[in-house]
Amino acid sequence: MGANNTTTTNTNNNNYPSSSSSSSTLNSDDSKKLHIFLDCDPGNDDCILLVILLQLFKNYPNRLNIIGISASYGNSSVQNTLKNLTSMINVLSMGKYDINIFSGAEEPMVSNEQSFFPTNIHGANGMSDLKELDKPNLAFCKGKITSKELLRLFNEVKSNELTQNDKIIFISTGPFTLISRFIIEKPNLKKLIDKFIVMGGVFEDERGNCNSKMTGEFNIFNDPDAANTLFMDPIMKQKSIIFPLNITHKAIFDQKQMKIFSESSRKDKEISELKKSFLKLIQKFSLLYTSSKDNEKHQFDKGPPMHDVLTAMPIIEYLIGNGNDFENKTNWEFKEIDFMVEVEGNEISKTHIFTKNSILKTLETENEKDNTKNINSTKNLIDYKQESCVVLYNMNFNLFWKHFQLTFDQLDQENYESKRIMQLSIYLIASLSVLVLGGILEKVL
């Protein structure tokens, strides 16, 4: 049933809140574990997302399971994104957890002559051509994911007495081709998915990054048919949580965040080689964004937007809880929207909204409207009962950056400690060898 972390101890460091020790109120049902399948296209920001999700997986073994991860086309070819995904599993030492790794979709549902790989943003290999993190191990890959295999994995969760009430979360951070094809081939998948969390789209007045009039967004631009298959479906639209450019363009990794990231929380004030590699990845990502045409349109001089990384926030919120004070609340602002995507012409991937007079909502205002929820208010996005696609416009970004930095501080500490243990082991073996050799020489002499 996905990765095996049932015997993993909590590796919590640097005061990262755990499900048992968090001072925040846990607003989700502790008995309901999250089972995640991630379809991604690594991708600089996808790589950062992978770090955060994999750290959560280690920190919350009783509340989070990773069913599988697939690498699809998008930021680069599937050959490159799969290499990048297995590189992340390798450099993060996650191979021991036996996470299901698959190759995903290779091309759009319908041939799209306008689709492209954004080498100007993600480099030729999709990961800024950074050698330090380019350590693929394709032996981790269990082959190409199929709709039959995905259905089997999901049924394993829902047919097991111990997990049948748990939640299945499908996250997509590239073009939506894979899951769109699969729900056509296996419609039962729609009922098994509890929430569908995606990065994609651009709404209303926000400027896009694709098509001639800048009204489109890359993930939807590459496969608008897949987007319509999902977001116009009466079942899937009630499960879809969308992070469009309207919110991701606010998640700028600026100089303040760069300074915090480059500093160490360790006593020796050093940062590990692994964290240095991710720092270099973000720096190269920033340079690519600054020199791209997107910078002229969106003024990314302050730093690159962490588009895909935001999709981890509903997971963090569910696991850790939504604080009672403003500083620790996620403070989502969203609209529930019915829409379709244009698939032809020079405005391909432009969203046409059907919902009339859609207003910004928060979980707090929705609870106040619905008296039936007041006894047990829905304080996290995953438990929210929606009628249409939830499109996010704003949130508490200070909280996002807090978790972002905390994750890499923890990773840094773990990497430092593992190196120290290795060095100590080498020293002990060497010392033992000297003692043994000394004893042998004494007997000979």
CB atoms within 10 A of CB 19: 18
Q: Is the CB of residue 174 less than 8 Å from the CB of residue 117?
A: no
CA distances from 206 to 40, 202, 209, 277, 351 (A): 24, 6, 10, 33, 11
Distance from C-alpha of 197 to C-alpha of 363, rounded to nearest angstrom: 17
Residue 20 has pLDDT above 50, yes or no: no
Question: Which of the four pLDDT bands, split at 50, 70 and 90, describes residue 441?
Answer: low
Rounded distance, CA 390 to CA 197, Å?
A: 10
Active-site choice (35, 122, 249, 307)? 307
What pLDDT, in 10s, does the model give residues 90-111? 999 999 999 999 999 999 999 8
- Residue 230 scores a pLDDT above 60: yes
Report d(CA 391, CA 360) in Å as an integer: 10
Length of the chain, in residues: 445
Torsion of CA 93, 95, 98, 101, to 10 degrees: 110
Average pLDDT over residues 260-289: 90
- What's the pLDDT tens digit per position in 396-427? 999 999 999 999 999 999 888 766 655 556 65
Q: Are 315 and 242 in contact (CB under 8 A)?
A: no
Q: Which H or E element spans position 389? A: strand 389-394
All domains of the chain in start order, with CATH: 34-444 (3.90.245.10)
pLDDT cut 90: percent of the chain above it: 66
pLDDT tens digit sequence for 351-392: 999 887 788 999 888 877 765 544 445 679 999 999 999 999
Q: In the prediction, which pLDDT does 16 show?
A: 56
The secondary structure of residue 268, as a DSSP letter, is T
Residue 22 pLDDT more than 60? no
Could you give the angle at the alpha carbon of 425 between the alpha carbons of 54 and 16, nearest 5°? 30
> Which range is most confident: 19-28, 114-123, 265-274?
114-123
Residue with the bigger pLDDT between 443 and 117: it is 117
**Is the pLDDT assigned to residue 149 strictly greater than 90?**
yes
Residue 440: what pLDDT? Answer: 67
Q: Nearest CA to 295 among 324, 328, 252?
A: 252
414 DSSP β-pair partners? none
Instruction: Mention every residue, 6+ apart, whose C-beta is less than 8 A from residue 290.
Output: 300, 301
Sign, CA torsion 202/205/208/213: positive
Based on the residue annotation, tell me whether 352 is a catalytic residue of this protein.
no
pTM beyond cutoff 0.85:
yes
CA distances from 121 to 218, 219, 302, 389, 417 (A): 12, 14, 15, 28, 34
Tokens representing 161 are 């007495």
Whether the pLDDT of residue 5 is over 90: the answer is no
- Average pLDDT on 172-199 reads 98
